[in-house]
């Protein structure tokens, strides 16, 4: 019998092309992932992945199975959403207001997609949005149950935050990859991915810095400056002006991505390319919420995020 966790392992292994990275992202041991995939291959009677020195890559039948696995997990998530609808329709879930704290890139690009679905399920709820900094958001969410926050944090910060704010709870939504976003006409980037902590044998990349960048992004920019990978040529007060600079090929912009092909940005993708940056400390998009937020509300929020952002 195929288990749902095997399907999740399958999808993550396809995304990372590495047993080590897959296990690391799922907080499991590499032998456990390897054994699970091997058992799945044995049960199905096919080879799903080709193991090579360059990485682990799906076979032709593996690609078809992975596609079906994604569909199955989406269907499972839809079951939860159907039950959420029933709870709302039957009056078992009540939500008078919900205050959402987050950063500009998230509120501009993702929340407009999430909000209509939430409003459909909570027609009498008043939703408010706060373009907030990290510290203010933590205070608001830790003090009041009906405040939630979406932010990027380094994974090694979790324990410290939970100790500082004992009423705070954190749910992982997805690991984040960072890219330098540049015009397709730019020629100032190396061809290979940038690895922090290793010698950079190119001239510094001109960087456009968004003035209100998050702490985790500012820390990453500072490390890249210290390693002579980038130099700031312009500090922009808003994202549209930042995009205008990179469209003209005047600099690069540091941007997060939910996964390798879905950057969180309204930028015109036909005019730019994304250059990966390999960071030492893992960064994740997480949901912050108060321990007193009703469990049914919390689960509905998570199901919608997973469904709409396709993070499963």
With a pLDDT cut of 90, the percent of the chain lying above it is: 20
Q: What does the pLDDT read at residue 259?
A: 47
- Give the number of residues written for the chain: 312
Query: Does 260 have pLDDT greater than 50?
Result: no
Give the whole-number percent of the chain exceeding pLDDT 70: 84
Domain ranges of the chain: 4-84, 95-170+284-309, 175-283
d(CA 96, CA 73) in angstroms, rounded, equals: 31
For domain 4-84, the CATH class is: mainly alpha
Beta bridge partner(s), residue 171: 287
SS3 assignment, position 59: coil
User: Which residue is listed with tokens 């930028």?
Assistant: 267
Strand ranges, E, within 60-146 = 97-102, 126-131
| Cβ–Cβ under 8 Å, residues 138 and 161 | yes
* Assigned CATH topology for domain 95-170+284-309: D-Maltodextrin-Binding Protein; domain 2 (3.40.190)
Low-confidence winner among 18-32, 61-75, 79-93, 247-261 (lowest mean pLDDT)? 79-93
Per DSSP (E only), the strands in the chain are 49-52, 55-58, 97-102, 126-131, 147-154, 168-183, 194-195, 205-210, 230-236, 253-257, 272-278, 283-290
Q: Is the pLDDT of residue 153 over 90?
A: no
Instruction: Tell me which long-range contacts 16-23 makes (C-beta under 8 A, separation of at least 24).
Output: 17/55, 17/56, 17/57, 18/55, 18/56, 19/56
Q: Are 152 and 256 in contact (CB under 8 A)?
A: yes
Query: Does residue 130 carry a pLDDT above 70?
Result: yes
Q: Provide the mean pLDDT of the chain.
A: 82
Domain 175-283 sits in CATH 3.40.50.720:
no
Coil vs helix vs strand at 189:
coil
Let me know: does 105 contact 242? Beta carbons within 8 Å: no
Give me the pLDDT at residue 229, please.
Answer: 94
| C-alpha to C-alpha distance for 161 and 22, rounded to whole angstroms | 25
Helix pair angle (4-16, 30-44), 10° resolution: 110
127 confidence band (pLDDT: 50, 70, 90): confident
Can you tell me the mean pLDDT for 3-20?
Answer: 87
Query: Token match 């808003």: residue?
Result: 238
pLDDT above 80: residue 77: no
The reported pLDDT for the residue numbered 311 is: 44
- 213 contacts: CB under 8 Å, gap ≥ 6: 221, 254
Q: Assess whether pLDDT exceeds 50 at residue 58.
A: yes
Q: Do domains 95-170+284-309 and 175-283 have the same CATH topology?
A: yes
- 157 secondary structure, DSSP code: G
Q: Looking at the predicted structure, is the pLDDT value of residue 92 above 80?
A: no
Helix (H, G, I), strand (E, B) or coil at 60: helix
């Amino acid at each position: 019998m195929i288990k749902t966790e095997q399907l999740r392992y399958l999808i993550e292994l396809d995304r990372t092309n590495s047993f080590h990275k897959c296990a690391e992202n799922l907080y499991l041991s590499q032998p456990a992932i390897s054994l699970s995939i091997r058992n799945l291959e044995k049960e199905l009677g096919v080879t799903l992945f080709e193991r090579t020195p360059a990485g682990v890559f799906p076979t032709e039948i593996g690609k078809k199975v992975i596609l079906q696995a994604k569909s199955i997990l989406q269907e499972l998530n839809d079951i939860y959403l159907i039950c959420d609808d029933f709870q709302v329709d039957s009056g078992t879930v009540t939500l008078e207001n919900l205050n959402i704290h987050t950063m500009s890139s998230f509120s501009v690009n993702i929340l407009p997609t999430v909000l209509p679905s939430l409003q459909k399920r909570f027609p009498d709820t008043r939703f408010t949005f706060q373009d907030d900094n990290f510290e203010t958001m933590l205070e608001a969410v830790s003090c009041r149950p009906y405040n939630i926050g979406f932010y990027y944090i380094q994974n090694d910060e979790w324990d410290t935050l939970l100790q500082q704010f004992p009423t705070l709870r954190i749910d992982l939504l997805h690991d984040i990859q960072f890219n330098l976003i540049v015009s397709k006409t730019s020629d100032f980037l190396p061809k290979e991915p940038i690895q922090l902590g290793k010698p950079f044998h190119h001239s510094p990349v001109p960087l456009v810095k968004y003035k209100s960048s998050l702490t985790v992004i500012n820390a990453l920019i500072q490390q890249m400056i210290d390693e002579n990978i980038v130099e700031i040529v312009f500090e922009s007060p808003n994202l549209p002006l930042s995009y205008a600079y990179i469209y003209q090929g005047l600099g690069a912009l540091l941007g997060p991505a939910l996964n390798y092909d879905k950057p969180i940005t309204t930028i015109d993708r036909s005019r730019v390319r994304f250059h990966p940056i390999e960071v030492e400390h893992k960064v994740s998009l997480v949901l912050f919420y108060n321990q007193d937020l009703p469990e049914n509300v919390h689960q509905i929020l998570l199901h919608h995020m997973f469904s709409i952002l396709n993070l499963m």
